Amino acid sequence: MKTNSLEYSTEQNRLKILGFWIFLGAEIALFGTLFATYFTLVNRTGHGPVGSEIFELTPVLIETFVLLTSSFVIGLGINAMRLGNKKAMTIFFVITLLLGLTFLGVEIFEFIHYVDIGAGITVSAFTSALLTLLGTHGAHVTLGLFWGLAIVLQVAKRGITADTSNKAFIFSLYWHFLDVVWIFIFSFVYLKGMM
């Protein structure tokens, strides 16, 4: 960890980064509970469909590819920020957000598809748990898009300062975290469900 970087340069910045790591700890507990709920209810499909009947690989692969790439790109953005290259940083952040937007678009399409084939959120305990888990992740991505946009605008206006670099770095932690959650969703919801 580069603790001599600008994002760590003030006392308040260091407090914020530690605070955000602890918040991510709470987020792990939150998603952990949602996963536990999902695993408990996954076979309780009632009259509704089971996972293998509704999951489709193509949109899920697109989502995975797009989100993982965005996580890589935001890493490049943070690297550019540490090199003090405002333009490159902005470009990488904008690409990250566009990839996030693509992810969200495909996910919304996926949700509409589920409703169309009779796997809406009210159908069974399984669909409720599935769509709540995916929806919570999707809501985090949505919030992240607005948050990231606010940071891009601030960097454009104020440049790379102790304040903006701290915000951008924390945002990157959040974005990577969403990626990690998605890897679990991809492996244990989709792949396991399709087997």
In the complex, which residues of this chain contact another protein (CB under 8 A)? 14-16, 18-19, 22-23, 25-27, 29-30, 32-34, 37, 40-41, 44-48, 121-129, 132, 146-147, 150-151, 153-154, 163, 167
C-beta closer to another protein: residue 30 or 57? 30
For 140, the enclosing helix (H) or strand (E) is: helix 125-158
- Other C-beta atoms within 10 Å of 77: how many? 28
C-beta closer to another protein: residue 22 or 195? 22
Nearest approach in angstroms of CB 24 to another protein is 10
**Greatest C-alpha distance within the chain:** 58
Nearest approach in angstroms of CB 188 to another protein is 17
> What's the CA gap between 88 and 172, in Å, rounded?
15
> What's the CA gap between 188 and 195, in Å, rounded?
11
C-beta closer to another protein: residue 43 or 79? 43
Which of 130, 170, 127, 123 minimizes the C-alpha distance to 150?
Answer: 170
C-beta closer to another protein: residue 102 or 163? 163
Encoded tokens for 39: 């695993």
Nearest approach in angstroms of CB 171 to another protein is 10
